[in-house]
Structure 1
Amino acid sequence: MSGEATQQTPPGWAEPGGDWTPISIYTLVVVTIIYALSFLDRSILSIVLPLIKQELHISDTMLGLITGFAFVLLYSGLGVPIARLADRGNRRNILALGCAAWSLMTVLTGAVTNVAQLALTRFLMGAAEAAGIAPTTAMLSDRFGPRGRPLALSIMTSGSGLSALLMLPVAGYIAQHHGWRSAYFVAGSFGIVIAILLFLTVPEPQRLGKDGKADAPSFGTVWAWLRTRRSFGLMCASGACLAVTTYAMITWTPTFLMRVHGLTPGEAAAAFGPIRGLSSIVGVIGGGALAGWAARRNPRWLLLLPAIGAAISVPAELLFLLSDDLPIALTGLGLASLAGAMHFGPSYAAMVAIVPPSMRATTAAIFLFCVNMVGQIIGPLAIGWLNDRWAGLYGDEAVRYSMIVATICVVIASILMVLASGRLRDDLEAARIFTPAKGPTP
């Protein structure tokens, strides 16, 4: 049996490690809460879109532009420079500063009085959130070894589900009963408190290198390495396709529930948040645990399992969008959220596994740049534009047909992940034997 495992799995992948120590678990809990807050701060807008539209007199196209483009421009553009700092400096401090900054922008969003101010706060929020994923991924990759990393990263990314399950309904309640501005004030203030907690109580993990110091290669070395890793390009393409649908659905689903099913903002948040949140948590953690177990026998499952989940989510999403019966529609939403969320942890685990430890933050930032520049810009904007174009033909139902178009991207993503899985083993082996003197291997 041991000989078979050695033959199928790159050396070190199936090795047990001391992953789940008290400090590792505590670090995971805190960064998961921060991940949840980052999603809350950017998702509140989806709940209060009709209220802002009415008060500031904004079209759906402009709302889609502000939601996606204004946020992602600096979010993606600053991701790589901040990741370079994270590969060399203190990742805990970078994450704490970023969390405090984007939480401050959340508070200021509650004070805007015109479209320009709303776009500016969204723009600066994206700049601050660039300090989120890459440092967090690198920190957890040093806290958890290959065996525990898929589950740990899945738990971290389940923060988006935690945000939808617990935080978004509270924000919706506050918005409906105390005004949309109050929702931003409360969310931002809570984020500042958590940023202080991170800075004071979470130590920076020890990393590889002399005396535990970072020995990060140049950006040119990282880029040259990634260009020769054929699975990485396919992962970026599949991630971008998934992001188009994901951000379109996150942004416009509450509006869909309000326009098509007649719910209030509070009711939409109470329906959308818990259903998507709980389903996402189960899908993310379950997918991470299952992929981590299966990857010890064959690492391809890190990408095959997400591909299967993405394929399953398509008919479930169509059930949600096409059914006029609200309970049936919400059942489809839950199934789609569960299956679609299975890719988060395994995909991140595959991504950091194909690079040496000193390249992890930069690799995560490059991946996120590709994914978000496509997904966050095209997804919300395309749906908003189609809503305006089709409003004369379908009225409030236009959002239903606009969102159906987005599901095509999930089918493409599933195919690309299967192709990437076929390249994964060679790239894992190349990362294992990499030395800075040798550089990238073709």
Structure 2
Amino acid sequence: MASPSPSFKTARPNLVLAMLLLVYIFNFVDRQILSILAAPIQADLDLSDAEMGLLGGVAFAVLYSVLGVPLAWLADKTSRSWVITGSLMIWSGFTALCGTAVSFTGLFLSRLGVGVGEAGGVAPSYAVIGDYFPSKRRAFALSIYSLGIPLGSTIGVLAGGYIAAQIDWRTAFFVVGLAGLVIAIPFKLIVKDRPRLASENAPDSPQFGQIVRLLARKPSFWFLSFGAACSSMLGYGLAFWLPSLLQRSFGLDLVQTSQFIGAVMLLGGVAGMLAGGWLADRLGTRDKAFYAWVPASAFFIGVPLFSGGIYTSNVWAAFALFLIPQAMAYVWLGPVLTAVQHLVPPPARSTASALFLLINNLIGIGGGIYALGALSTALTPIYGAEALRYSMLYSLSLYAVAALLTACAGPFLRRDWVAEITPPAAP
């Protein structure tokens, strides 16, 4: 196998990782800002919880999940950095357009556009990280990148809540959308594709159908994908509806809600993300099964603590109880994403990641946010104003299922893992 060119060897992986992280932060700012703006949007456009669930879940998830596969394949075959740059510009533009919506239909179509753009951002970024960082450091590098989730979510709820309180919810969409467009040019100037190895351009390099068949034969892929999807149903559902719960059941205003959510996501999310990557890199060198067992353990720990936080009526007790399970909710990303990268040869990493994300996001985002909203609507005749609280409590069973499925992937990873013949150049 050919070696990477000298220019790639002298690249600065940490700078590339920082730029990828910055783009991912904007990815989640644009994705999650709708949650903190749900109350003023519902009041302005007269929308039900079920309709907001559609806007937060299905409107975003369908095209985001489905288009992620062909865009990742395109990135593998052409330029990963160009696909990420173009995606950033599209989703940022449609986020700004959300601020012009005057009806459910208009906002739904704009959210579809956000999903189209974000479809091409994540899987190619995983592959770029795989190119720049060796296997023994990859889980931690992916955990650093995944900090974009809590950081972006925190910035989204804080900035969105503040702007909406001071001006209006439309301006919040305009500001974050235009900010994303600004960083597209410096991103493309800094993040360069790794020169293609001769084997990656060879006629016998993995084609799309071959990659699908390869993954389909590996039980670890299915256990990890559906385990992550179950956890994402709950994770995305809680992240989207928690602001509404805090306002309805705890009496917080918009700014107080954004501060509560921001602090929980920032403190718990960052700690859990880094811990997951660090543990997986340490334990995974001894036994590949730990790339599944570390997340499974975190899911089990999270269930009772989330239950306590949702059930309590004291806002300070809720804050304390949410911190640890919020960390546990993010532990899985570094280990699982690293494992998926190692189920295929390096030239197929974007495509494999996109196939994983297709399952995870279509079920997780598309199903979780809508399911919690629809369940809340259905429970309203029974629980009244507390229906959303009980919708969340009933949904915690998804974490138990996620823990079981992910744990089952462990033994299969020992067999399914694809060793790298020639690792990426060290920093």
Q: Same fold (TM over 0.5)?
A: yes
**1:413: Cα distance to partner?**
0.7
- Deviation string, structure 1 residues 403-434 (Cα, Å, up to 9, x no partner): 112211110111111110110011115x5589
The SS at the match of 2:411 is helix
Contact 1:89 1:214 in 2 (8 A): no
2:102 aligns to what SS in structure 1? coil
Structure-1 separation of matches of 2:123 and 2:49: 32
Counterpart for residue 154 of structure 1: 143
1:29-108 aligned at under 5 Å gives the runs 29-108=18-97
Amino acid at match of 1:304: W
- Please state how far the C-alpha of 1:210 moved relative to its aligned partner: 4.6
Contact between 2:29 and 2:155, CA under 8 Å: does it hold in 1?
no
Partners of 1:42 and 1:192 in 2: how far apart? 15
Q: Residue 425 in 1 paired to residue 417 in 2?
A: no
Q: Distance in 2 between matches of 1:213 and 1:138?
A: 19
Aligned to 1:126: 115
1:198-237 to 2 correspondence within 5 Å? 198-210=187-199, 216-237=205-226
Shift of residue 165, structure 1, vs aligned partner = 3.3
Amino acid at match of 1:277: L
Letter in 1 for 2:291: L
Query: Is residue 158 of structure 2 the alignment partner of residue 169 of structure 1?
Result: yes
Tell me which residue corresponds to 2:3: none
Residues 1:310 and 2:313 are matched in the alignment: no
User: Larger deviation: 163-172 or 336-345?
Assistant: 163-172
* CA–CA distance in structure 2, aligned partners of residues 60 and 293 of structure 1: 43
Shift of 1:393: 2.3
Is the Cα–Cα contact under 8 Å of residues 207 and 213 in structure 1 kept in the other structure? no
Q: 2:383, 2:168 → 1: CA distance?
A: 30
Q: 1:350 to 1:171 in 2, by over 3 A?
A: same
Residue 338 (structure 1) aligns with: 327
Across the two proteins, how many residue pairs are aligned to each other? 415
Indicate whether 1:400 and 2:389 are aligned: yes
What corresponds to 1:440 in structure 2? none
Provide the C-alpha distance between the structure 1 equivalents of 2:205 and 2:35, rounded to a whole number of angstroms: 39
- Give the distance between the partners of 1:413 and 1:237, measured in 2 at CA: 7
- How far apart, in 1, do the equivalents of 2:111 and 2:125 lie? 22
Secondary structure of 2:197's partner?
A: coil
Q: Residues 274 and 20 (structure 1 numbering): CA distance in 2 closer, same or farther, change over 3 Å? A: farther
| Deviation of the 1:173 alpha carbon | 0.7
| Inter-CA distance 47–215: structure 2 relative to 1 (3 Å threshold) | farther
The CA deviation at 1:167 is 4.2
- The 1:310/1:27 distance shift into structure 2, 3 A limit, reads same
Encode CA deviations 1:127-165: one digit per residue, 9 max, x unaligned.
111001111011100001101100000110111111233
- Paired AA for residue 219 in structure 1: F
Q: For residue 260 of structure 1, what is the aligned residue in structure 2?
A: 249
Match of 2:131 in 1: 142
Give the conservation status (yes or no) of the 8 Å contact 2:30–2:156: no
Shift of 1:392: 2.5
Q: CA, structure 1 residues 352+278, in 2 after alignment: closer, same or farther (shift >3 Å)? A: same
Instruction: Give yes or no for contact 1:135–1:361 (8 Å, CA) kept in 2.
Output: yes
Are the equivalent residues in 1 in contact too, given 2:205–2:347 (CA < 8 A)?
A: yes
1: distance between equivalents of 2:335 and 2:284? 9
The CA deviation string for residues 275-324 of structure 1, in whole angstroms up to 9 with x for no partner, is 11221111101210121011111121111111111111111110110111
> Could you say which residue in structure 1 is the equivalent of 2:404?
415
Tell me, in whole angstroms, the C-alpha distance in 2 between the residues paired with 1:268 and 1:187: 19
Counterpart for residue 377 of structure 2: 388
Q: Which residue is equivalent to 2:344?
A: 355
Q: Which residue of 2 aligns with 1:191?
A: 180
Shift of 1:166: 3.7
In the superposition, relative to structure 1, how do residues 65 and 238 fare at CA in structure 2: closer, same or farther (>3 Å)?
Answer: same
1:180/1:172 Cα in 2 relative to 1: closer, same or farther (>3 Å)? same
Render the CA deviation track for 1:59-92: whole Å, top value 9, x for unaligned: 1111101211111111011011101101111100
**Distance verdict in 2 for CA 1:216–1:50, change over 3 Å:** farther
Kindly state the Cα deviation for residue 48 of structure 1 after the two structures are TM-superposed. Answer: 0.8
Aligned ranges 1:3-14 → 2 under 5 Å: none
**CA 1:420–1:174 in structure 2 vs 1: closer, same or farther (change >3 Å)?**
same
Q: Equivalents in 2 of 1:30, 1:193: separation in Å? A: 13
Residue type matched to 1:175 in 2?
A: A
In the alignment, is the contact (CA less than 8 A) between 1:166 and 1:274 conserved in 2? no
Q: Is the 8 A contact 1:84 1:362 kept in 2?
A: yes
Contact 2:37–2:160 (CA<8 Å) still a contact in 1? Answer: no
CA distance in 1, matches of 2:392, 2:200: 52
Q: Deviations over 1:315-339 (max 9, x none)?
A: 1110110111111111121111111
CA contact (8 A) 1:56 1:115 kept: yes
Unaligned segments of structure 2, at least 5 residues: 1-7, 423-427
Q: What's the TM-score once normalised by structure 1's chain length?
A: 0.90
| Deviation digits for residues 35-78 of structure 1 (CA, Å, limit 9, x no counterpart) | 11111111111001111111101111111012111111110110
TM-score of the aligned structures, taking structure 2 as reference length: 0.94
